């Protein structure tokens, strides 16, 4: 079994924020696969079970805040006896990467991302990550918190729907089939 865990905040006011891009991608994948979300309090998450390329996969959106998602990762990894080095994929925003960039990494530091810091505290930091770039010209005019909690522009939402989300779903499918390689993808020029 594989676990695809997205970083994000559970409240509706964060739905279209940069910090919730991982939730948005998982919602699109769940819709594509006609999966139903279920509240799982023991995991501190809303989950959906799907099958991708013959592999049982749990999609998870933590119900804790972004900075506390390590408890969700640990609870699911322990319950299903998963090996994070091969079975865990985390999708999150990255304000250091330009909007339109997707980067796949198998391990690494938290890079200042408090959600990743939480997961690294509860789970060994050797797991696969899909980092979705959110940096744009507004980044220089706002502090980190206001920037990541701000909504995407109309043009960015369009690019997410047309280009970034489909590419991210392809990468999730590659992870599930064991065929994902660390790389950077410049989706928009």
* Cα torsion 130, 106, 136, 151: sign: positive
Nearest Cα neighbor of 148 from 96, 106, 105 is 96
Is 92 known to be catalytic? no
- Euclidean distance between CA atoms 165 and 37, whole angstroms: 19
In this structure, are residues 46 and 183 in contact, taking their beta carbons and an 8 Å threshold? no
Tell me which H or E stretch contains 104.
strand 101-107
- Euclidean distance between CA atoms 172 and 158, whole angstroms: 21
Name the strands in the sheet holding 55-62, side by side, starting at the edge strand that comes first in the sequence. Answer: 38-40, 45-52, 55-62, 2-6, 88-98, 126-135, 101-107, 183-186
Q: Which residues are designated catalytic?
A: 19
């Amino acid at each position: 079994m594989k676990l695809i865990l997205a970083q994000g905040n559970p409240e509706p006011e964060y739905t279209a924020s940069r910090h919730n891009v991982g939730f948005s991608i998982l919602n699109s994948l769940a819709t594509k696969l006609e999966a139903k979300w279920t509240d799982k309090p023991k995991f501190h998450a809303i989950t959906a079970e799907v099958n991708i390329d013959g592999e049982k996969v749990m999609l998870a959106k933590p119900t804790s805040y972004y900075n506390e998602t390590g408890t969700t990762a640990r609870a699911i990894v322990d319950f299903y006896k998963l090996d994070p080095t091969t079975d865990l994929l985390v999708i999150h925003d990255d304000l250091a990467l330009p909007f339109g960039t997707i980067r796949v990494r198998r391990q690494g530091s938290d890079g200042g991302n408090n959600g990743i810091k939480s997961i690294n505290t509860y789970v060994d930091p050797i797991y696969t990550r899909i980092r979705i770039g959110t940096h744009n010209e507004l980044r220089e005019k706002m502090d980190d918190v206001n920037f990541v909690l701000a909504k995407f522009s109309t043009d960015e939402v369009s690019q997410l729907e047309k280009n970034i989300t489909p590419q991210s779903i392809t990468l999730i499918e590659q992870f599930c089939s064991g065929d994902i390689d660390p790389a950077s993808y410049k989706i928009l020029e």
